[in-house]
Chains A and B, each alone.
Chain A
Amino acid sequence: NAGVTQTPKFQVLKTGQSMTLQCAQDMNHEYMSWYRQDPGMGLRLIHYSVGAGITDQGEVPNGYNVSRSTTEDFPLRLLSAAPSQTSVYFCASSYAVNTEAFFGQGTRLTVV
């Protein structure tokens, strides 16, 4: 009964380093998305995918890349980390566009 699994839970990066945040779901959901959560800002959509091979940008996509080669996985890549990317990142999935979104437990990223 895993649901949405994110790894790692915590990460510290130096400015300019790259890394990939992993997200996997075992519910056979077509829709997956990445949000960032910042104090006083709520959650903002970074990128989303409506199925394997299909991705699109959300409201804050700059500095992030995604791909969706399988239904289960939706990794988020930071190519050159910046302090402004310090945040908590949440992955979410849902069966269809207007059904419940299930969230992972989050990855807390600090860029120094």
Chain B
Amino acid sequence: GDSVTQMEGPVTLSEEAFLTINCTYTATGYPSLFWYVQYPGEGLQLLLKATKADDKGSNKGFEATYRKETTSFHLEKGSVQVSDSAVYFCALRAPGSGGSNYKLTFGKGTLLTVNP
């Protein structure tokens, strides 16, 4: 079945440091790929997405490129801020338009803490 593997946390960085959170996936065909962010005490919010190979999703300074050859969707940000402290989830949705393709398969999440 489909699965998502993301780097174990927690990750602790100083403000303005470079961030990479690795994410690899297993799925048939070409899934859609997502990064969600969960701030303390809140629900998940979509951070960025990519729906086909070589697409780059970007938002709020974060970027991730859909790499079919390495089945990866690593999250990067050039200069993190204290306000980026949150849990980050990589997720995929299998291709197709049927109801059974509605499911999002999540990684286990990576806790990021950014210190001033």
Contact = CB atoms under 8 A, between A and B. Distances in A.
Interface of A: 4, 31, 33, 35, 40-45, 48, 50, 54, 56, 58-59, 90, 92, 94, 97-98, 100-101, 103-106
The B interface is mostly helix, strand or loop, or mixed, namely mixed
Given A40-B108, A97-B97, A97-B98, A45 B44 contact: no
Contact of B108 (A41, A90, A100): A41
A90 B21 CA distance: 24
A31 B102 contact: yes
Given A43-B106, A48-B99, A104-B43, 19 more contacts: A4-B43, A43-B44, A43-B89, A43-B104, A45-B103, A45-B104, A48-B102, A56-B100, A97-B97, A97-B99, A97-B102, A98-B51, A98-B93, A98-B97, A98-B101, A100-B46, A100-B49, A101-B46, A103-B36
Contacts of A97: 93, 97-99, 101-102
Contacts of A101: 46, 104
Interface residues of B, number: 25
A42 B106 contact: yes
Interface string B73-116: 00000000000000001000100011111111011110000000
B22 interface: no
Contacts of A54: 99
Interface of B: 4, 32, 36, 41-46, 49, 51, 89, 93, 97-104, 106-109
Nearest to B42: A105
Nearest to A96: B97
Nearest to A33: B102
A-B pairs with lowest CB-CB distance, top 5: A103-B43, A42-B106, A50-B99, A103-B44, A42-B108
